């Protein structure tokens, strides 16, 4: 019977029931929470071998340095451009709505380990792994991507007798990992049920009332970026049908929403972009793992709104120069943020110190961060997928969107 209902409907039904379950039986969620843990563990299990094999397979497929350079430039430009547009949308709305003026400071919470974030320079340095096995064990995405790209590129530089078996080997690993992904995807509704029921049970509704204006500002800005800006770019620049692509992406987007992790969602994103929207592995294998790690439009937008909200709540006027610094640091720190739940919250401290705001300000937005994280992660994944179809079109691929 379940098999007859399409997966995205199954997930939607699971989402609705999990919210009801969390609201009605908050003390019973331990009985379903384990399903979420099992699902997340299974996704995390897939990530490292999938990313490694998809990048090596993509880069060996792209072939020469010239093509690789062109693809890299396009990908990076798209990521920078959309993140910047997202931040500007947030900047305009937070200045217009001014959610922080008169905000209730009573909800401020203590947060430990606030100064532990890396600077942007340190993040850059960590791209080079000292020990690739250690990076893989820790799931250090940027380091894994960097090494996989080098490995793939130099595979194309050695004699055919060596490069061919290596390329075939990684193509095969990738295909197998995708099969495992498809198997795990079948359990998405159950996993999502477990995750979301627990989140709902842990929220207190009174916080939503007092933080309502702030939440609306973030959600409105995220909506404008994902419903207007990104579809417009995909339509105008690449002639993509955004609605069709959105439908194709429903499973990964709902998973991103429920897990709040672009990294954990990556296997599903790859599957949908390739199998449904029809992007080649050469393009998606290159664009998507990089996107899940460095392209975070939703996070960048959120950083900007959150920092200005904190400034407004403390009654500190931010000059035009300080706002420019916020835009730049929000962009850089979103690149450095990991694709895991609440990563965006911690990196806000980098921006706060750049403009001289108290780090404790993070405590103000802590209570609603987990919920907003669900929305910004969805936007992060949506932007990655739009980038993949846009770049595939620009490379002359024929897609289903
Ligand atoms: N959870 C987000 C992601 O995985 C990152 C963030 O906290 O903003 O994309």
The CATH number assigned to the domain holding 182 equals: 1.10.3860.10
Burial 73-85, CB ≥16 within 10 A → b, else e = ebbeebbeebbbb
Mean pLDDT confidence for 371-382: 96
- Residue by residue, DSSP assigns 271-316 as HIIIIIS---HHHHHHHHHHHHHH--HHHHHHHHHHHHHHHHHTTP
Q: Which two tokens stand for residue 378?
A: 């969805």
| 101 pLDDT more than 80 | yes
What is the helix (H) or strand (E) element at residue 322, kind and residue range? helix 320-336
Does residue 395 register a pLDDT over 80? yes
pLDDT tens by residue, 319-345 = 899 999 999 999 988 888 888 888 888
| Cβ of 344 below 6 Å from ligand 1 | yes
- Average pLDDT, stretch 371-379? 95
| Structural domain count, the chain | 1
CA of 306 to the centre of ligand 1 (A): 14
- Res 3: pLDDT: 61
Q: Is residue 400 part of a domain?
A: no
In a domain, 242, yes or no: yes
If pLDDT is split at 50, 70 and 90, which confidence band does 109 have? low
Query: Following DSSP, what letter does each residue of 352-399 receive, concatenated?
Result: HHHTT--GGGHHHHHHHHHHHHHHHHHHHHHHHHHHHHHHHHHTT---
Backbone angle region of 72, left / alpha / beta, with phi > 0 → left and psi within -120 to 50 → alpha: alpha
Residue 401 falls within a domain, yes or no? Answer: no
> Which of 49, 51, 71 minimizes the C-alpha distance to 61?
71
Min mean pLDDT across 10-14, 301-305, 338-342, 372-376 is at: 338-342
- 3-state DSSP assignment of residue 153: helix
CA distance 197 to 395: 42
Return the ligand 1 atom nearest residue 264 CA. Answer: 4
Ligand 1 atom 6, closest CA = 344
Angstrom distance (rounded) from CA 373 to CA 359: 20
Q: For ligand 1, atom 1, which residue shows the shortest CA distance?
A: 341
User: Quick one: tokens of 212?
Assistant: 């309502």
The answer to whether residue 399 is domain-embedded is no
Tens-place pLDDT, residues 30-67: 899 999 999 989 988 998 999 899 899 989 988 788 88
Q: Are 388 and 279 within 8 A, CB to CB?
A: yes
Q: By C-alpha distance, which of 301, 233, 290 is closest to 88?
A: 301
- Determine the pLDDT at residue 68: 87
Specify if 31 maps to a domain: yes
Which pLDDT belongs to residue 128? Answer: 92
Nearest CA to ligand 1 atom 8: 344
Phi, psi angles (nearest 5°) of residue 98: 50, 60
Residue 113 has pLDDT above 60, yes or no: no
Could you tell me the pLDDT band of residue 304, with boundaries at 50, 70 and 90? very high
- Examine residue 9 and state whether it is found in any structural domain, yes or no: yes
- Nearest Cα neighbor of 179 from 39, 34, 49 is 49
* Higher pLDDT among residues 398 and 219, named by residue: 219
Checking if the pLDDT of 394 tops 80, the result is yes
Cα of 80 from ligand 1 centre, angstroms:
17
How far does residue 259's CA lie from ligand 1's centre (Å)? 10
Q: How confident is the model at residue 14, as a pLDDT?
A: 92
Could you tell me the distance, in angstroms and rounded to a whole number, from the CA of residue 17 to the centre of ligand 1? Answer: 24
Helix (H) or strand (E) segment spanning residue 131? none
Average pLDDT for residues 132-150, to the nearest whole number?
A: 91
Task: Indicate if ligand 1 lies below 6 Å from the C-beta of 18.
Answer: no
> Is residue 158 predicted with pLDDT exceeding 90?
yes
What pLDDT score does 6 carry? Answer: 84
- pLDDT recorded at residue 210: 76
- Rounded to an integer, the average pLDDT of 163-181 is 93
> For position 103, what pLDDT does the model report?
74
Q: Which atom of ligand 1 is nearest to the CA of 338?
A: 5
Cβ(260) to ligand 1 under 6 A?
Answer: yes
Compute the Cα dihedral for 164, 170, 173, 174 and give only its sign: negative
Q: Flag whether pLDDT at 318 surpasses 70.
A: yes
Indicate the length of the chain as a whole number.
Answer: 401
Asked if 318 contacts 355 with a C-beta cutoff of 8 angstroms, the reply is: yes
| Structural domain of 120 | 2-394
pLDDT at 22 over 70: yes
3-class secondary structure per residue, 66-122: HHHHHHHHHHHHHHHHHHHHHHHHHHHHHHHHCCCCCCCHHHCCCCCCHHHCCCHHH
Distance 310 CA to ligand 1 centre (A): 20
The pTM for the full model equals: 0.89
Average pLDDT estimate for 394-398: 91
**Ligand 1, from 83, 142, 262: best to mutate by most atoms within 8 Å of Cβ?**
262
Of 19-28, 84-93, 202-211, the poorest mean pLDDT is in 202-211
Q: How far apart are CA 221 and CA 85, in angstroms?
A: 11
pLDDT at 140: 86
pLDDT the model gives residue 261? 93
Domain-embedded: residue 345: yes
> Is the per-residue pLDDT at 71 higher than 70?
yes
Tens of pLDDT, residues 238-271: 899 999 999 999 999 999 999 999 999 999 999 9
Question: Distances from the Cα of 259 to the Cαs of 165, 220, 333, 369, in angstroms?
Answer: 37, 21, 21, 14
Measured distance CA(215)–CA(390) in Å, rounded = 30
Going from the Cα of 154 to the center of ligand 1, the distance in angstroms, rounded, reads 32
> Which range among 43-57, 215-229, 306-320 has the greatest average pLDDT?
215-229
Among residues of the chain, what percentage have pLDDT more than 90?
Answer: 58
Percent of the chain whose predicted confidence (pLDDT) is above 70? 95
Would 371 be classed as within a structural domain? yes
The C-alpha atoms of residue 386 and residue 208 are separated, in whole angstroms, by: 31
CA 88 to ligand 1 centroid distance, Å? 19
- Cα 75 to ligand 1 centroid, rounded to whole Å: 20
Q: What is the pLDDT of residue 300?
A: 96
Q: What is the mean pLDDT of the chain?
A: 89
116 has a pLDDT exceeding 70: no
Cβ neighbourhood burial of 358 (10 Å; 0-12, 13-18, 19+): middle
Which pLDDT score is estimated for 224? 98
CA atoms within 13 A on the CB side of 111: 23
Give the per-residue pLDDT at 79: 95
When pLDDT is averaged across residues 276-287 and rounded to a whole number, the result is 92
């Amino acid at each position: 019977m379940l098999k007859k209902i399409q997966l995205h409907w199954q997930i939607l039904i699971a989402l609705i029931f999990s919210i009801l379950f969390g609201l009605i039986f908050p003390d019973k969620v331990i009985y379903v929470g384990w399903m979420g843990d099992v699902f997340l563990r299974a996704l995390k299990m897939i990530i490292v071998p999938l990313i490694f094999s998809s990048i090596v397979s993509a880069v060996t497929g792209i072939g020469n340095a010239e093509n690789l350079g062109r693809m890299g430039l396009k990908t990076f430009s798209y990521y920078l451009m959309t993140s910047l547009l997202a931040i500007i949308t947030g900047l305009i709305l937070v200045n217009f709505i001014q959610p922080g003026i008169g905000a209730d400071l009573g909800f401020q919470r203590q947060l430990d380990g606030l100064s532990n974030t890396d600077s942007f320079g340190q993040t850059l340095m960590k791209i080079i792994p000292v020990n690739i096995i250690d990076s893989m064990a820790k799931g250090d995405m940027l380091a894994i991507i960097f090494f996989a790209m080098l490995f793939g590129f130099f595979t194309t530089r050695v004699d055919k007798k060596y490069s061919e078996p290596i390329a075939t080997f990684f193509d095969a690993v990738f295909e197998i990992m995708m099969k495992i992904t498809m198997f795990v995807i079948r359990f998405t509704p159950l996993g999502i049920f477990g995750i979301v029921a627990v989140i709902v049970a842990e929220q207190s509704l009174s916080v939503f009332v007092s933080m309502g204006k702030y939440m609306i500002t973030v959600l409105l800005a995220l909506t404008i970026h994902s419903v207007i800006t990104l579809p417009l770019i995909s339509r105008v620049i690449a002639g993509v049908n955004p609605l069709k692509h959105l439908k194709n992406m429903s499973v990964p987007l709902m998973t991103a929403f429920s897990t709040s992790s672009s990294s954990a969602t990556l296997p599903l994103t790859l599957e949908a972009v390739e199998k449904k929207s029809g992007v080649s592995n050469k393009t998606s294998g290159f664009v998507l793992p990089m996107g899940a790690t460095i392209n975070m439009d939703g996070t960048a937008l959120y950083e900007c709104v959150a920092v200005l909200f904190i400034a407004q709540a403390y009654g500190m006027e931010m000059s035009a120069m300080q706002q420019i610094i916020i835009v730049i640091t929000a962009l850089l720190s979103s690149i450095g943020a990991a694709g895991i739940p609440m990563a965006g919250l911690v990196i806000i401290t980098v921006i706060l110190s750049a403009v001289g705001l108290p780090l404790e300000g993070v405590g103000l937005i802590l209570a609603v961060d987990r919920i907003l994280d669900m929305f910004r992660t969805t936007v992060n994944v949506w932007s990655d997928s739009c980038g993949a179809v846009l770049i595939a079109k620009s490379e002359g691929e024929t897609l289903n969107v």
